[in-house]
Amino acid sequence: MSKRTLDIEPLTAAAFAPYGDVIEASATARQIPINYGNTIRFHDLAKLELTSGGGQAGVSIFRSTPLPLPITVKVMEYHPKSSQAFVPLSANPYLVVVAEKGDFDAGKLRAFRAEPGQGINYYAGTWHHFSLALNEVSDFLVIDRIADDENCIEHQLSHTEQVALTLPIA
């Protein structure tokens, strides 16, 4: 039996809204001129939740190595106490695989292709795959909760839950 395939959609704010925020300098963002008119601030692009249960905001860099193609989704995770934002620092597209909060349902998995210049912020409780860099090793600025407690729940997908991401993805 072959694995179910998952189509890859373009990442848009509307399509991603149930799972989190798209962080980008879009025409729909609130724009505020600052620095004597020399800079435009694209204001308040993500709903960050980082301090519950004594947590604090942390800024890290994740360096992600692309998985061999074709990619099979075998594990998903969520963070019950916080959001988690990824902003690409490399000029490569990447994939985002998500499912809604609540009991995991492999039938509701969605995959998005994020372009360079598009970051994402997963809402607390949103199921997601770890970083899926494409083309080459890629760096991401990550803003998430730092604390000495557990804030990452993983689900290993059974063989029947696993999905393959459809190609081409370039």
- Specify which residues 119 forms β-bridges with: 23
Confidence class of residue 170 from pLDDT cuts 50, 70 and 90?
Answer: low
How confident is the model over 44-58, as pLDDT tens digits?
999 999 999 999 999
Residue 168: pLDDT over 80: no
How does strand 56-64 pair with strand 138-146?
antiparallel
Mean pLDDT, the chain, whole residue set: 95
Give the three-state DSSP class for 131. Answer: coil
Query: First and final CA of the chain: distance in angstroms?
Result: 27
Residue 157 binned pLDDT confidence (cut-offs 50, 70, 90): very high
Q: Is the pLDDT of residue 167 over 90?
A: no
Bridge partners for 110 per DSSP: 98
pLDDT at 80: 97
pLDDT in tens, 88-145: 999 999 999 999 999 999 999 999 999 999 999 999 999 999 999 999 999 999 999 9
pLDDT bracket for residue 3 (50, 70, 90)? confident
Q: Indicate the pLDDT class of residue 166, thresholds 50, 70 and 90.
A: confident
pTM of the model: 0.94
**The residue type at 70:** P
Q: Could you write out the DSSP letters of every residue in 41-53? A: EEE--------GG
Ordered by where they begin, the domains of the chain are 4-165 (2.60.120.480)
The stretch 134-163 carries a mean pLDDT of: 96
